[in-house]
Amino acid sequence: MQREIQRRLAAIRTDLDSFSDAEAYALMCSGYLMTQHELAANSALGFDVPPVAGDKWNFLQMEELMKQPVEDNPLAARLKVSDRLFGKVWLLLPWLKFVGLVVGAGLIAGLCVLLLKFWSNKLPSLSWGGLIVWLIAIIAGVFIFERLSKVFNYRKTLDQILIGLGLAVAGSFLAKLHLFAFDKLFLRQGSIGRVLK
């Protein structure tokens, strides 16, 4: 097996996210080959182990790719990004990286246009009465929340709760988007048929 392939296999993430078939098969094949080597050396068990034909295991389809150099090796390309938790599919697909750059540039350009458009606009004025009402509402809200938190023995502050709610809503949306679109692309890129082709 190529040393670089083995190094990339050893660096595969241990997070419980989606693993492509290519990653899983390569890990199984590596474990099988290491076990086969150790058993043949007579040092693992202390007695002879008769060789067993392993051609019935589907993961052995990866063996040939694991012996080839990493240049232009489709398995090596997928294993190169397998240590990452985020952005794997973006690194595998150049067109997706290009789309991401275009969208990011568009968002930055849109923000610049908004800044230029509203730079000289004044904020709405607030009367002293309105300012006092806002201050009283904020102080009353904090006071009421503090009293309720003591009654219910709740230790989180209001800002922690609001940050948590914001992250939960945004995180839920981003997670669903990732699972619906990008995770499927990643799994398709790592399918056995595509890698062996």
In a domain, 46, yes or no: yes
**CA–CA dist 145, 161 (Å, integer):** 11
Residues 98 and 96: their CA atoms lie apart, in Å, by 5
Could you tell me the residue range of the domain that residue 43 belongs to? Answer: 3-89
- Tell me the two tokens of residue 125: 């004025």
pLDDT by residue for the chain (197 residues), tens only, comes to: 899 999 999 999 988 788 899 999 999 999 998 888 887 776 666 777 777 776 688 999 999 999 999 999 999 999 999 999 888 888 888 898 899 899 999 999 999 998 888 877 776 777 888 888 888 988 888 778 777 766 666 666 666 777 888 888 888 888 888 888 888 989 998 999 888 88
Residue 22 belongs to some domain of the structure:
yes
Whether 117 is in a domain gets the answer no
Confirm whether 55 is domain-assigned: yes
In a domain, 118, yes or no: no
Who's near 85: CB < 8 A, 6+ residues apart?
13, 15, 17
Distance CA 27, CA 23 (A): 6
Please count the structural domains in the chain: 1
Whether 78 is in a domain gets the answer yes
